[in-house]
Chains A and B, each alone.
Chain A
Amino acid sequence: QVQLQESGPGLVKPSQTLSLTCTVSGGSISSGGYYWSWIRQHPGKGLEWIGYIYNSGSTYYNPSLKSRVTISVDTSKNQFSLKLSSVTAADTAVYYCARVALVWYFDLWGRGTLVTVSS
């Protein structure tokens, strides 16, 4: 059974870079057939898609965040990562990693990790 688990700092200072990793267990990113994505949810709010990556490294980003986002994949570790630069308090959110079916819905989610941007 495939599972996803987010990890990374829960507190980031303004203007710094937020870095999170998603570890996939029970299945291989390298096997293909899925994209791997990051989504965030501001406190008490709805869901915002950040971007996703394929095992080849090809990426798609939300245009609203594209200038600050980098998603990468490490198939040897079965992980993919998110970097969000120049963060502000508006980037405080629960960040989820998710698996994306090739028709672009999210069929499996991690439990999420809260990242707070504060000095």
Chain B
Amino acid sequence: EIVMTQSPATLSVSPGERATLSCRASQSVSSNLAWYQQKPGQAPRLLIYGASTRDTGIPARFSGSGSGTEFTLTISSLQSEDFAVYYCQQYNDWPPLTFGGGTKVEIK
């Protein structure tokens, strides 16, 4: 099973600042990585797939990068609606499909 590790667990950022979230895989997942955003009481929403492709309707301030075992989600200028928990998920080697433990982006 591929273990996904996200860091930091919590990221405190001021509105308008850049946020950089990390996701590491225990073995290479190529570019088969997705990012999701989850707000309290809501279902996760797909942001990024293929490590760097934004899903339909996702603002350009969200960008993904990386391949192999190291990945980054960058939010270039945090808006109030971006404060949420973010999860990465690998789909290179399954079953099982696996998620990271999440990074909570909170208001500084």
Query: A residues bordering B, Cβ < 8 Å?
Result: 46-49, 51, 60-64, 96, 101, 103-112
In the assembled complex, 7 residue pairs joining A and B whose CB atoms fall closer than 8 Å, in A order, are A49-B96, A49-B98, A51-B95, A63-B1, A96-B44, A103-B50, A104-B94
CA distance A106 to B44 in the complex (A): 9
A20 → chain B, closest Cβ, in Å?
Answer: 14
Query: Hey, which chain A residues are within 8 Å of B94, CB to CB?
Result: 60, 104
Query: Hey, which chain A residues are within 8 Å of B63, CB to CB?
Result: none
Residue B64 is within 8 A (CB to CB) of chain A in the complex: no
Q: Which of B34, B43, B95 contacts A61 (CB 8 A)?
A: B95
Q: Do B99 and A49 touch (CB < 8 A)?
A: yes
Q: Which of B34, B36, B43, B95 contacts A112 (CB 8 A)?
A: B43
